[in-house]
Structure 1
Amino acid sequence: MNASRAAYWQRRALLQQQSAQLRHSLEQQVQALAPAWQVLDGTQRGVAWVRQRPWVLALGLLVLARKPRTALRWGWRSWRAWRWAQQWLGGSAGSK
């Protein structure tokens, strides 16, 4: 009977070790996805911001319909300025 108990405890220890290795592997794989999750979080915050201010979307669509080239140029400039400001201020959105 003692041999079966010893085998049980050995098997249990082996399974716990394998479980710890699998948890560690899963943690590394999840960390690799962190940048994608940050982008999704930022997108959700942006959508929520626009939902609270629908006039911004309406104004943007109006300008885009009236003068598409100008709207796209200013949109691109604004985006670059925003990214630069985020990097300069040390925000997480601009750092890579």
Structure 2
Amino acid sequence: MMSAGRDYWQRRAALQQQSAQLRDRLEGQVQALQPVWQVVDGTQRGVGWLRQRPWVLALGLLVLARKPRTVLHWGWRAWRGWRWASRWLGR
């Protein structure tokens, strides 16, 4: 009878240790997906911002339809400036 009790506690301790190891592995795997979730969150915020300001989208589409090359040129420059400012500010 004493052996069965000791086996139970040993098995329980082994399972708890295995569970802790699995939690640690899962945490590492979730951390690897962190950049993906940040992009998704940013995209959702951007879509929400545009939904509150539909005139911005309409104006952008109008300008794009009238002068696509100019829009692409300035859009690219704005994107590069935004990326540079983000790095410079450390965000």
Structure 1: any 5+ residue segments left out of the alignment?
A: 92-96
Q: Tell me what 1:34 maps to.
A: 34
In 1: Cα distance, 2:76 partner to 2:46 partner: 17
In structure 2, the partner of 1:54 is 54
Q: Which has the higher helix share?
A: 2
Deviation at 1:41, TM superposition (A): 0.8
| 1:25-70 deviation per Cα after TM superposition (whole angstroms, max 9, x unaligned) | 0000000000101111111111111111111100110011111111
**Per the alignment, in what secondary structure is the counterpart of residue 90 of structure 2?**
coil
Q: Aligned residue for 1:4? A: 4
Percent identical pairs in the alignment equals 76
How far off is 1:85 after superposition?
A: 1.1
Rounded to whole Å, the distance in 2 between the matches of 1:50 and 1:89 is: 25
How many residues in Structure 1 have an aligned counterpart in Structure 2?
91
Question: In the alignment, which residue of structure 1 is the partner of 2:72?
Answer: 72
Q: Which amino acid aligns with 2:10?
A: Q
RMSD over aligned Cα atoms: 0.7
* 4+ residue segments displaced more than 4 Å: none
Per the normalisation by structure 1, the TM-score is 0.91
Unaligned runs of 5+ in 2: none
After TM superposition, the score normalised by the length of structure 2 is 0.96
Deviation, structure 1 residue 90: 1.5
